[in-house]
């Protein structure tokens, strides 16, 4: 028996046998062929591409629209496998060197990977993974071998790996893959986000779990506390089984109460909205009791179709608005750059401090203007708000507002109807904007606190880096005082202030946030029932007193302890999970 501690990224408890993914390359038994077999070898390569694409077609069809983003990742792999430049180079390597198809493919792919790695760009790391995934699929097809893993599983397992690429995570069938644990990763890594979307318990940042576990080992994954138990004894199995049943019962009960209002005992209403990335997520958000969409991330539209214009955006917004049935929608304009590299994007040493988000939009006005046109038109279909991300200065905000005005003038001149009074707001994600919020409030209709980035930029901590995960502290007094200042600024200027991000998803933080005066939050859809239940257990004057005490403290750990003790006294059933 061995206990490992990592970063909890997707809640739940599971006990199952381990499937350890093999990260080594497939072995190529033969590297050369006779001259007379060259055309036959090229034919083998083309057949392998066709067979691999059929395999990907099957996977994409199985995933369906409910996990549409994962299917799109596999679509990227189809594009890579079908790339005519790749085919030309592999065929040339076979003809010039008498290589086998396997060896030629491996040589060409290795050259591509080295070129990307030499750029030393963290935002291209997923492209390396994509190339390696495609190589492994094509090699396994050529060699007639089945890749260990994630499709056609016959028994329930937990997946153990050094890392899971987006494509691998996309293949996780929640019916058979009951959880996963990886050596690397952070709370906001792509793998973590996809794990939560699939509802699979997960722990990441375990450093060497992939070498500590042998396939077939019995594993406990506790996605609440970030614990992985290797070969648990009978007592631990009984303990975790009981906790799992208790948590499942709690989740079922919370879901049954999801449509009840999020209102404190003494009558203070809190609007609980959902964060979504795809139109298909709206149904789940509404079923979980969301009072609207507080953050619609629109980057996937551009990333999947870089030439997507106004109509593509408009149809996506129409779909979401129709599914909401009159509930409000907040559309965030393109937040590209950083770890979401657009086609033709800059290669930057420090992309999170570079040309990302509104900076990218101002530098690339054509797609930005097309999106604004679509949002303004969509405003006639239902209650829609337009939100600008990562504004850092008044001049940046004014330039953005000027473009919105120009686009409005264009629509009027064309006789196109649009929402003339659409509410426009900003995401407050950097300290510079938080500190001048009083100047911002006179220019916008609302402020939305993006806590993931606000914590990152305030504390100078990479939020996706497991090596500094212990320094990423949403309860740091500096962060809390910035949020308090924003809330007070909103009250003084009669501007609504909302909050989205991981902070709003942590139950023990909710009393503090409500006590600070926040009346609108936005979280992942599946977390809404729990968030609303916690809010219904609060009394406003009590949490205001709690907030005042915490804001006098000088250390984030001290604040967290105070909030945990308070939560144990007021909603112990929820806190017991952690």
φ, ψ at 464 (rounded to 5°): -105, 10
Q: Under a CB-based contact definition with an 8 Å cutoff, are residues 45 and 139 in contact?
A: no
Size (the chain), residues: 578
Among residues 190, 273, 313, 476, the one annotated as catalytic is 190
Q: Which residues pair with 295 in a beta bridge?
A: 275
CA atoms within 13 A on the CB side of 258: 21
∠ CA 149-102-150, nearest 5°, is 10
Among residues 288, 361, 500, 550, the one annotated as catalytic is 500
CA separation for the pair 501, 279 (Å, rounded): 19
* Ramachandran sector of residue 23 (left: φ over 0; alpha: ψ -120 to 50; beta: rest): alpha
CA separation for the pair 319, 279 (Å, rounded): 6
Which tokens is 309 given?
């214009």
Which tokens is 551 given?
């804001």
Residue 500: active-site member: yes
Residue 550: active-site member: no
Q: Under a CB-based contact definition with an 8 Å cutoff, are residues 133 and 77 in contact?
A: yes
The one-character DSSP state at 66 is G
CA separation for the pair 455, 476 (Å, rounded): 8
Residue carrying structure tokens 């909030």: 563
Task: Kindly report the number of other CB atoms within 10 A of residue 290's CB atom.
Answer: 25
Which tokens is 441 given?
């409030």
Query: Strand ranges (DSSP E) for 473-527?
Result: 496-500, 520-523
Which residue, 137, 140, 76, 86, is CA-closest to 109? 86
Which tokens is 144 given?
């007639």
Catalytic residues: 190, 500
């Amino acid at each position: 028996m061995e206990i490992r501690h990592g970063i909890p990224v997707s809640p739940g408890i599971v006990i199952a046998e381990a499937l350890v993914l093999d990260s080594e390359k497939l072995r190529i038994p033969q590297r050369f062929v006779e001259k007379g077999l060259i055309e036959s070898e090229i034919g083998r390569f083309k057949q392998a591409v066709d067979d691999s694409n059929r395999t990907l077609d099957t996977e994409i069809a199985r995933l369906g629209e409910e996990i549409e983003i994962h299917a799109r990742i596999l679509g990227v792999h189809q594009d890579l496998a079908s790339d005519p430049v790749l085919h030309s180079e592999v065929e040339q390597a076979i003809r010039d060197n008498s290589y086998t198809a396997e060896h030629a493919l491996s040589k060409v792919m290795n050259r591509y990977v080295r070129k990307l790695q030499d750029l030393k760009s963290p935002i291209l790391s997923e492209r390396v993974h994509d190339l390696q995934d495609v190589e492994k699929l094509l090699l396994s097809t050529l060699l007639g071998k089945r890749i260990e893993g994630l499709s056609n599983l016959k028994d329930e397992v937990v997946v153990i790996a050094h890392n899971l690429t987006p494509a691998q995570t996309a293949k996780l069938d929640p019916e058979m893959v009951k959880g996963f644990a990886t050596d690397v990763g952070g709370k906001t890594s792509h793998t973590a986000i996809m794990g939560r979307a699939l509802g699979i318990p997960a722990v990441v940042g375990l450093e060497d779990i992939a070498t500590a576990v042998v396939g077939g080992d019995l594993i406990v994954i506790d996605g609440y506390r970030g614990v992985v138990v290797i070969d648990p004894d009978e007592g631990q199995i009984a303990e975790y089984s009981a906790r799992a049943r208790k948590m499942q019962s709690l989740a079922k009960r919370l879901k049954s109460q999801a449509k009840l209002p999020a209102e404190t005992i003494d009558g203070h209403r809190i609007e609980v909205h959902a964060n979504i990335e795809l139109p298909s997520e709206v149904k789940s958000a509404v079923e979980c009791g969301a009072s609207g969409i507080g953050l619609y991330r629109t980057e996937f539209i551009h990333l999947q179709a870089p030439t997507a214009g106004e109509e593509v955006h408009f149809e996506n917004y129409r779909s979401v608005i129709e599914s909401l049935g009159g509930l409000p929608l907040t559309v965030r304009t393109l937040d590209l750059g950083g770890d979401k590299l657009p086609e033709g994007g800059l290669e930057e040493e420090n992309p999170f401090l570079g040309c990302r988000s509104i900076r990218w939009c101002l530098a690339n006005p054509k797609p930005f203007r097309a999106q604004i046109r679509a949002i303004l038109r969509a405003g006639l279909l239902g209650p829609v708000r337009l939100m600008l991300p990562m504004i850092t200065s008044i001049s940046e905000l004014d330039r953005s507002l000027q473009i919105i005005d120009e686009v409005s003038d264009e629509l009027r001149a064309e006789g196109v109807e649009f929402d003339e009074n659409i509410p426009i707001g900003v995401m407050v994600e950097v300290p510079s904007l938080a500190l001048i919020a009083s100047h911002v409030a006179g220019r916008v209709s609302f402020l939305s606190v993006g806590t993931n980035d606000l914590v990152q930029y305030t504390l100078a901590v990479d939020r996706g880096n497991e090596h500094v995960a212990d320094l990423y502290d949403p309860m740091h007094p500096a962060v809390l005082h910035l949020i308090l200042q924003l809330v007070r600024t909103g009250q003084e200027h009669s501007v609504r202030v909302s909050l989205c991000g991981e902070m709003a998803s942590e139950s023990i933080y909710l009393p503090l946030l409500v006590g600070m005066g926040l009346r609108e939050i936005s979280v992942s859809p599946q977390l809404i029932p729990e968030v609303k239940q916690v809010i219904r257990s609060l009394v406003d004057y009590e949490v205001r007193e709690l907030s005042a005490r915490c804001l006098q403290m000088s250390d984030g750990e001290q604040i967290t302890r105070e909030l945990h003790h308070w939560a144990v006294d007021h909603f112990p059933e929820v806190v017991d999970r952690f």
